[in-house]
Structure 1
Amino acid sequence: MLHDNTKARLADFDDRKEELTAIRHYLHQNPELSHKEEKTARFVADKLKSWGYDVTENVGGYGVVAVLSNGTSKRGIAIRADMDALPIREETGLDHASANDGVMHACGHDGHTTILLGAAEYLARTRRFDGTLTLIFQPAEEAGTTSGAQKMIEDGLLERFPFDMIFGLHNHPGAPEGQILLREGPLMAAADTVEVLVKGRGGHASRPHLTVDPLVTACHMVVALQMVVSRFTDPTQTAVVTVGTIHAGEAVNVIPETARFAITVRSFDEDVRANLETRIRQMIASVAAGHGAVAEVDYQRGHPVVFNAAEPTALARSVAEELVGEDNVGTCNLIPGSEDFSHYLEFRPGCFVRLGNGVDSAVLHSSKFDFADESLTVGAALWARLAERFLEEDAG
């Protein structure tokens, strides 16, 4: 392991701070929603082409894949950044605030894209690596079950652009700018959605004995579902079952025919995930039967767990400590949010890193959020040094 100046350092990016900040501000001012990142993708592709990358556009939608080979090694590394924004009206009041009303980069994907572009320019200019570098600029991370990771994989990403390991990052509000957080094993939760339709028999609100009230039944289901975690899940495991919506009826004097509610389910272990589904289905069916109603359950499996493999996580931690020092590298807590980067990790070993966005940063998906420009060069240097370390000439 090298600790000299033959690999990328923070100082190598000092003269790029102004340019990277300008790129990030441009992207922030011109946000595009999931599956609509046409201008962003073109901007990214043009930059990469100008630096000598072999660029493929429209992979799984507006995905951009840039490949650069150097030397003779067959080893390959992939690094991914996301590009899409959210349907939120920005309220930061910044000079570089969104010019697209009702759309903003409230999750920092403008920063993630800029960081990877910064690393891309450096690696193309220095070419101090032996192997193949694959940079993935992904659309539609925020799109749920139609996410860009899934679309790019379905479009043959893994076969068309082979690599051995994959890395990605996300900014982390609450941690100091430039701090790097890692965690081996599960990091971010699997996220499943359950939609429940309760069918009863409607009637006059003054004669409930002549009806089967689906609203009362649904309310009992919501209460009973609280036991799925508290009484049917190993207390040493982490899980979340939250009912976020419930809808029934239009008039105060009418018992409706149906009621609907929806659940989000989060977990960090596949066995726990399977048990949650079994218990939720059983609980809904038993409550429905007890009330004389019928329940239809649409259980939708979303993103799997973000699981960081041991070897790539150890490499990323080693590189981070070389770059910013051990005092600025920490262990990340479990995050109950989900990430479609997890789909890549089902096929290749990899590591998802968290990068500090400031102790006083607004939370993700807030109308007041802005990516911390102070973290741009740290992220770019991290990716550059990581690629150089993974693709060292004497690597196996």
Structure 2
Amino acid sequence: MPVLNRIADFAEEMKGWRRYLHQHPELEFDCHETAGFIVERLHEIGVDEIHAGIARTGVVAIINGTGEGPTIGLRADMDALPIEELTGADHASTIPGKMHACGHDGHVTMLLGAAKYLAETRRFKGRVALLFQPAEEDGGGGNVMVQEGVMDRFGITEVYGIHNAPGMPLGYFQTNGGALMASVDTAFVYVTGKGGHAATPHDCVDPIVAVVAMVQAVQTIITRNVYALDEVVISVTQIHAGTASNIIPEEAMFCATIRCFNPEVRKLLKKRFHEIVEGHAAAFGVTARVEYDWGYPATVNHPAQAAFAAEVAREVSGDAAVNAEAPREMGSEDFSYMLEVRPGAYLFMGMGPGAGLHHPAYDFNDEAAPIGASFFARLVERALPL
């Protein structure tokens, strides 16, 4: 793989950055130490501007090219997950109950590597805006950065991002020119009946029976309300009720994740979910409260930018290692908010074999960091040629 020679020269330094970040994971918007580490490296690299405290702990850095031109945005997420690490690695998390199980430590490292190269060479016109974003896993930090005006403030005209993909061959790239990842909404349903002795259910109003019926019925939204070719997922992921074998509880709850690609279908799913819960509550004589969290929108690439990013990926990894017509998937990403306001593209990059994302045995493959950094660097040089 033609990793840029200069980036290959500091691959060991990048490994050190990544492993330090892996040992010091932080959650959501509380990425204070992570941001501090990034700012220190950016000062050493010699970028032209550093703006901290965006979206609480986000960082935006500017590298000026040689001559006037537009500004390309490159994004890396920073936050970790509330998982106890089981890798057994020497560089494992030092923070109990927190780990980089999604590879955001690697994403930061790739962007820092590209920054080091671009600040040294400056073989491009215009500017690069490096977007280090907190709270991708939970909190929608991408949306907060957009709402705080980073696109207009820094004159960003296009924006690009990468996510690592364990199980995909090392250095292999996948993307497409449209919807790549689904929207995600979350529903919490709280059902209240009348508790009592399990031996006398006629004196009670059982919330468990109502919840079971609701859980079964919401699946009919997919089979009977949605066109068969519109991909939809409704997965009930939690049910909580009861404290003993001989007590009918007063309350029960369940939680569901709801995913799709079509905005009109998304509205329909919410409408039918409420109708089914309310109708079953009336039928079973319970009360029900729905908290419906309208989450990340679908991640939709812009065709021209996705095609361009695929060309750059082919330059880095070769024609056979790039799939520019990858199928969309039901995962979600808050990079979607950036793509709603600026043209750009999101890609997956292979890590080789290993544990999957969000698994306690996951670890980013350090051999991938120079590849991702080379992709970012060449994307800038190709998009903003001298």
**TM-score w.r.t. length of structure 1:** 0.92
Structure 2 residue matching 1:244: 3-state secondary structure: strand
Structure 1 residue matching 2:41: 3-state secondary structure: helix
Q: Which residue of 1 aligns with 2:105?
A: 110
Structure 1 residue matching 2:10: 3-state secondary structure: helix
Deviates more, 1:110-119 or 1:232-241: 232-241
Q: Which residue of 1 aligns with 2:299?
A: 306
1:144-223 alignment runs, 5 A limit: 146-223=139-216
Q: Which residue of 2 aligns with 1:134?
A: 129
Check whether the contact 1:77–1:387 (CA below 8 A) recurs between aligned residues.
Answer: yes
| 2:243 maps to amino acid | E
Q: Which residue of 1 aligns with 2:114?
A: 119
Q: Which residue of 1 aligns with 2:270?
A: 277
Q: Which residue of 2 aligns with 1:343?
A: 337
Q: Deviations over 1:176-221 (max 9, x none)?
A: 1111111221111111011112232333323322332221111111
Deviates more, 1:212-221 or 1:380-389: 212-221
Structure 2 residue matching 1:342: 3-state secondary structure: helix
1:19-34 alignment runs, 5 A limit: 19-34=13-28
Q: Which residue of 1 aligns with 2:5?
A: 11
Matches of 1:117 and 1:341, distance apart in 2: 18
Matches of 1:90 and 1:109, distance apart in 2: 15
Structure 2 residue matching 1:259: 3-state secondary structure: strand
Matches of 1:368 and 1:211, distance apart in 2: 46
Q: Which residue of 2 aligns with 1:82?
A: 77
Deviates more, 1:328-337 or 1:127-136: 328-337
Change (3 A) 1:292 1:64: same
1:217-236 alignment runs, 5 A limit: 217-236=210-229
1:312-331 alignment runs, 5 A limit: 312-330=305-323, 331=325
| 1:227 maps to amino acid | T
| 2:178 maps to amino acid | G
Q: Which residue of 2 aligns with 1:68?
A: 63
Q: Which residue of 2 aligns with 1:353?
A: 347
Q: Which residue of 2 aligns with 1:5?
A: none
Check whether the contact 1:332–1:354 (CA below 8 A) recurs between aligned residues.
Answer: no
2:326 is matched with which residue: 306, 309, 332?
Answer: 332
Deviates more, 1:339-348 or 1:89-98: 89-98
2:283 is matched with which residue: 270, 284, 290?
Answer: 290
Matches of 2:187 and 2:322, distance apart in 1: 37
Check whether the contact 2:47–2:61 (CA below 8 A) recurs between aligned residues.
Answer: no
Q: Which residue of 2 aligns with 1:92?
A: 87
Matches of 1:298 and 1:104, distance apart in 2: 29
Q: Which runs of 5+ in 2 are unaligned?
A: none
Deviates more, 1:155-164 or 1:296-305: 155-164
Structure 1 position 9, deviation (Å): 5.3
Matches of 2:15 and 2:247, distance apart in 1: 58
2:372 is matched with which residue: 367, 372, 379?
Answer: 379
Change (3 A) 1:91 1:256: closer
Structure 2 residue matching 1:346: 3-state secondary structure: helix
Change (3 A) 1:207 1:75: same
Q: Which runs of 5+ in 1 are unaligned?
A: 1-7
Check whether the contact 2:3–2:370 (CA below 8 A) recurs between aligned residues.
Answer: no
Structure 1 residue matching 2:99: 3-state secondary structure: coil
Structure 1 position 53, deviation (Å): 2.5
Structure 1 position 72, deviation (Å): 4.1
Check whether the contact 1:205–1:255 (CA below 8 A) recurs between aligned residues.
Answer: yes
Q: Which residue of 2 aligns with 1:3?
A: none
How many residue pairs were aligned? 383
Check whether the contact 1:170–1:354 (CA below 8 A) recurs between aligned residues.
Answer: yes
Check whether the contact 1:83–1:110 (CA below 8 A) recurs between aligned residues.
Answer: yes
Matches of 2:203 and 2:90, distance apart in 1: 63
Structure 2 residue matching 1:366: 3-state secondary structure: coil
Structure 1 residue matching 2:156: 3-state secondary structure: coil
Taking only aligned residues, the RMSD between alpha carbons, in angstroms, comes to: 1.7
Structure 1 residue matching 2:119: 3-state secondary structure: helix
Is residue 2:10 matched to residue 1:45?
no
Structure 1 residue matching 2:17: 3-state secondary structure: helix
Matches of 1:313 and 1:277, distance apart in 2: 31
Structure 1 residue matching 2:162: 3-state secondary structure: strand
Check whether the contact 2:111–2:376 (CA below 8 A) recurs between aligned residues.
Answer: yes
**TM-score w.r.t. length of structure 2:** 0.95
| 1:339 maps to amino acid | E
Check whether the contact 1:77–1:164 (CA below 8 A) recurs between aligned residues.
Answer: yes
Q: Deviations over 1:36-71 (max 9, x none)?
A: 221211111122123133000111111010012224
Q: Deviations over 1:258-281 (max 9, x none)?
A: 221111101122122111112211
Matches of 1:85 and 1:380, distance apart in 2: 20
Matches of 1:184 and 1:29, distance apart in 2: 36
Structure 1 residue matching 2:236: 3-state secondary structure: strand
Structure 1 position 340, deviation (Å): 1.2
Matches of 1:140 and 1:246, distance apart in 2: 26
